[in-house]
Amino acid sequence: MNPLFGQLINLLGALLLMLAFAMISQRRILSLIHLFTLQGATLVVATAVVGYVTNQPHLYVSAALTLGLKVILIPILLHRVINRLNVRWDTETLINIPTTMLIGILLVIFAFNLGAPIAKFSSSIARGTLGIALACVLLSFMMMITRAKAVPQVIGFLSMENGLFFAATSATYGMPMVVELGIALDVLIGVLILGVFMFQIREQFDSLDIRHLEKLKEE
């Protein structure tokens, strides 16, 4: 097998990681959506490359689902949400950006150290990407818990799912098609529900800051 394909997948994984770093340091919601779209497009290319190298036809279907869902449909839905809610302004973070980046670097180091022993048992062409995928998941999770606004948290959730999908694709050559279709449907329904949730927060509190929900707990 041509080692160049393995290097290409590693390169695409590195690009996913760079986009995850860019997302945790980004304050503008519109830019977050653009970065998420780029991350989805990178995932599409990585999935197609793995499908070509391993001769796994179902990965082409997975790439097409990712293209339609995460590169086209979900970004359109997110754009419509922020247009209707008028939330193009900079997002608030619970900790400052330099501290966030430092924590992100520590999470990447932890992810690579955690994934290295597991990757030794993998026979895939790009087993080194397991650490990258885990790092993307941890960075996305950190973005979810360090943002005060609902929209960036939704994008963080979607980005975390990208990392999990990349791990499944590169390390194990994908999941069964029934599982992938179920996950795609769950993600789409989740985005629709979270969209309704954001509209309800805005209607009740005239803001998307989820810290206002603490008022309900106090009452």
Secondary structure string (H, E, C) spanning the chain: CCHHHHHHHHHHHHHHHHHHHHHHHCCEHHHHHHHHHHHHHHHHHHHHHHHHHHCCHHHHHHHHHHHHHHHHHHHHHHHHHHHHHCCCCECCECCCHHHHHHHHHHHHHHHHHHHHHHHCCCCCCCCCHHHHHHHHHHHHHHHHHHECEHHHHHHHHHHHHHHHHHHHHHHHCCCCHHHHHHHHHHHHHHHHHHHHHHHHHHHHHCCCEHHHHHHHHHC
What are the pLDDT digits (tens) for 75-93?
Answer: 888 888 788 777 666 556 6
pLDDT digits (tens, 9 = 90+) for 146-174: 877 777 878 888 888 888 888 878 766 65
pLDDT value, residue 86: 72
- Ranges of residues in the chain whose predicted pLDDT is under 70: 1-3, 87-93, 119-128, 171-219
- Return the pLDDT at 117: 75
